[in-house]
Amino acid sequence: MNHLPAVLEYQDVLKAAALAFLERHQCEHLGDDQQLFDRAVQHLVTDYDVLTTTAEKLVHLACSDMSAIRDRQRLDMASSTSTHTVIIDPATGNAWAVPVSLIYERILNAPDNGRFRIAAP
């Protein structure tokens, strides 16, 4: 008897659990993807009694899915203006008009943000 469909279905459930864990905890590890990866592996090993090698494979697949979801949004240059940036998600059809002033206030001019500052020549 072939148990392959049941095994694949179980792996899909575990991958979905890993993806949910990654999405829930990604903000805790913004600068350290490896630590998030390790925590997700440990989550599968501990909570689902999965072998570490299997958990690593499933978390890797979940990371790929998360990257595909996270990276699908695009800047719509044709719809953007000098005061509003339009971001679209082609997969869902959603669009957001984000005021440039809000981007500046919350991201670029944030007190703890030194990454986007341009050094004077």
- pLDDT tens digits, 69-101: 777 889 999 999 999 999 998 888 899 999 999
Query: Which of 30 and 117 is assigned the larger pLDDT?
Result: 30
User: DSSP string of 51-105?
Assistant: -HHHHHHHHHHHHHHHHHHHT--EE-TTT--SSEEEEEETTTTEEEEEEHHHHII
The answer to whether the pTM exceeds 0.75 is: no
- Classify residue 28 by its DSSP letter: G
Q: pLDDT value at position 4?
A: 63
Query: Which of 59 and 103 is assigned the larger pLDDT?
Result: 59
- pLDDT tens digits, 12-67: 999 999 999 998 998 887 777 899 999 999 999 999 999 999 999 999 999 999 88
